[in-house]
Chains A and B, each alone.
Chain A
Amino acid sequence: MIGRHRHLIGLEPFSREEILEVLDLAVSMKEVLSRPVKKVPSLRGKSVVNLFFETSTRTRSSFEIAAKVLSADALNWTAAQSSTTKGETLLDTARNLEAMRPDVLVVRHSASGAPSFLARNLDCSVVSAGDGAHEHPSQGLLDCFTLRERFGSLEGRTVAIVGDISHSRVARSDLHALPKLGAKVRLCGPPTMIPQGVEQMGATVHHDLRTAVAGADAVIMLRIQHERIGDPLIPNTREYSKFWGLNARKAAEWLKPDTVILHPGPINRGVELSSDVADGPNSLILDQVQNGVAVRMAILYLLAGGAGEGSRAGKA
């Protein structure tokens, strides 16, 4: 359980305390990852199934490593893109996997709401690894973890999220979590990529990158998905890059010297982010990847009901 929750479908229903519970535990999990022997027996005998309906390398690997470090058995199941093409429904696939008695089912799906649909119909805990444009809660948590690690606290900090907000589940999870930890969120992108009514989720909306990043403590750059071009949300990547991409010159002129740069990956180098910024001293992009494992260990530990007293990772 994470607070009151048996599942991690999204961060919208999570309170500040519930988010902090995961982040605090992730601190000890990160310590485990720095040991010479990266293995603790906390989830021995537990099993985690990764069910991915969308291709993913980093999120799936991250969950897989997290499970293995905790000594859980991890199974990866990559399913056809959509249930209808395969002739087996999402529910059938999930029920088949559930029959193998996993403790946690990690699911990624292109349809928003697919993880809650499974949570309603299955007995095991369900963790969303991203659903449509809805939420990507473990990414939201690792973004919070990474920023908190850098700043100590997010209280009073300003975070700008730049890119295709309409189609971004990362932006939505960040938007549900960051303000609960005291940060202000600005969203920036071309008007075609800002969804209707997103201000109601507690962010300010900007179309001018310079205004959006001015004075910000952190900038989260989102990947521009090539399939959106010609949708038509933007004319081409060249123009997008010119107005909404971040390069060393803009960073030097527009950002505070200590503003950190995040990106959920994979990066389109030269489109939303130039290499010198992505690889620069203020980039936390690789920290995010490492922290992702620690945060996912915390999530799996809490939901798989790690073996009771005294088995906490730090003491293991």
Chain B
Amino acid sequence: MNTQSEVTVVQGGRVIDPASGVDGIRSVVIRDGKIAAVAERTDVPAGARIVDARGKWVTPGFVDLHVHLREPGQEYKETVATGTRAAVAGGFTSVCAMPNTVPANDNTSVTELMLARAAAAGLARVYPVGAASKGRKGEDLAEYGELRAAGCVALSDDGSPVMSPSLMRRALEYSRAFGLPLAVHEEDLHLVGKGVMNEGPTATRLGLQGIPAQAEDVMVLRDLSLLELTGGRLHICHVSTAGAVRAIREAKRRGLPVTAEATPHHLTLSDQDVAASDYDPDFKMNPPLRSEADVKAVREGIADGTLDAIATDHAPHSPEEKKLEFDAALNGILGLETAFPVCLDLVRLGILTERRLVEALTISAARCFSLPRGTLAVGADADLAILDPVLAWVVDPARGHSRSRNTPWKGKKLIGRCVETLVGGRQVHRLEESR
């Protein structure tokens, strides 16, 4: 044993670790980057770094299954370094990087580049997601074996659906050889047409072309049906409709190997917010903000576990791509730095318990892609978020850590904020404004 081990003790906080069933005032002892103990009383070794967490929550670092880090190829929007900086500022210690980079992450050199950049940044852990098809074109299978060997943890053409049912079938089948889940972005492009927001009375009033909820529903139903044929693991990204929640709930009841995620924005905003924003493209994303009935269904899905995880779909875009007429602006919003307070609102509304909120951001997410994360169990890597659940702050995109500023919460007062983040026991973020 190394007698000069580094010890950190996080004292006096409320530890919420759904994976190990802990919820109470505990001290977390970290030795050499690993969790050494979580206990009501601990001896503090001489020379230990003490973190005072009184009045705070101490949770496993959040796991985000869905972020767009934009590197390589679109570094003007975000880089691995800026994206992971935003991640740790929001309490996320592990992020899954979507493959719609330029070029697409459909080969080991792109995967390796992402991992190298992540290591150099030394902030959040980055888990690349490989492309499901070559070039994300939806035509030929990508090299799943090579991608897994290089470090990819799932496969996805995210940003685009796999429109071909036969390719989807083969992707599910072939992925079984490597045990990787297929993470699907569900929209039938024929039904989407030129739509830019949710179809319904609000789109009608605004005169914007609508996207029916059924564009998502039919693809979810198709893929759940294919899953019965093929086996494999299906993960449904950013679920936004009542129909999709219902279909996934029913599929889980029948024991199909499906997991799913919902975003903070689909849990808290509806198409009426597009109207209230007066065509602000920071309310434009894909899938679009849906009806209030859909929001209610997605909330119920997260609450009852039909939807396993909360994932941000953090999608940075430059002002040149966003400060435009609604039709012309690109889809997507930032999510990493606002996810915790935005979702904490669901606790205040009585929709989620505190435990379920933390679970959906940690262990439930990690399990979707079989990541060894999301717990404070003894022996685990010490990835922690220290959160102030009552700290009020106003979102100022110019002061965010992302390279981009496209957030619908700009200027809004949010309650709850990450104040310190540890990865492998090392402090990677500390909120300066907290003192």
Residues on A close to B: CB < 8 A? Answer: 12, 82-84, 89-91, 109-114, 116-117, 120, 131-135, 169, 172, 195-198, 200-201
A sample of 6 cross-chain residue pairs with beta-carbon separation below 8 angstroms, ordered by A number, consists of: A113-B279, A113-B325, A132-B208, A196-B203, A200-B204, A201-B205
Q: Contact at B325–A90, with CB atoms within 8 Å?
A: yes
| A-B pair number, CB within 8 angstroms | 77
Q: Contact at A112–B326, with CB atoms within 8 Å?
A: yes
Residues of B contacting A197 in the complex (Cβ-Cβ under 8 angstroms): 200-202, 204
Instruction: Choose one: B201, B278, B327, B328; the contact of A200 (CB below 8 Å).
Output: B201
User: Closest CB-CB distance, A207 to chain B, in whole Å?
Assistant: 17
User: Closest CB-CB distance, A3 to chain B, in whole Å?
Assistant: 19
A308 CA to B207 CA in the complex, in Å? 36
Instruction: Choose one: B202, B203, B328; the contact of A83 (CB below 8 Å).
Output: B328
Please indicate which of the listed interface residues A82, A116, A201 has the most CB atoms of chain B within 10 Å of its own CB.
A116
> Interface 1/0s, chain B 272-288, versus A by CB < 8 A?
00000011000000000
| Chain B residue at smallest Cβ distance from A118 | B325
Known A-B contacts A196-B199, A197-B200, A198-B201; the reply to A114 vs B207 at CB < 8 A is: no
Known A84-B328, A117-B324, A195-B210; 18 more pairs at CB < 8 Å: A83-B324, A83-B328, A89-B320, A111-B327, A111-B328, A112-B206, A113-B207, A113-B325, A116-B278, A132-B207, A135-B207, A196-B200, A196-B203, A196-B204, A197-B200, A197-B201, A197-B202, A197-B204
Q: Contact at B208–A113, with CB atoms within 8 Å?
A: yes
Residues of A contacting B208 in the complex (Cβ-Cβ under 8 angstroms): 112-113, 132-134
Q: Contact at B207–A131, with CB atoms within 8 Å?
A: yes
Q: B176 near A: Cβ within 8 Å?
A: no
Residues of B contacting A120 in the complex (Cβ-Cβ under 8 angstroms): 278
> Interface 1/0s, chain B 304-325, versus A by CB < 8 A?
0000000000000000100111
Q: Contact at A116–B207, with CB atoms within 8 Å?
A: no
| Chain B residue at smallest Cβ distance from A198 | B204
A131 CA to B279 CA in the complex, in Å? 12
Q: Contact at A169–B325, with CB atoms within 8 Å?
A: no
Q: Contact at A109–B325, with CB atoms within 8 Å?
A: yes
| Chain B residue at smallest Cβ distance from A116 | B278
Q: Contact at B279–A112, with CB atoms within 8 Å?
A: yes
| Chain B residue at smallest Cβ distance from A172 | B207
Instruction: Choose one: A84, A117, A169; the contact of B207 (CB below 8 Å).
Output: A169
Please indicate which of the listed interface residues B203, B279, B324 has the most CB atoms of chain A within 10 Å of its own CB.
B279
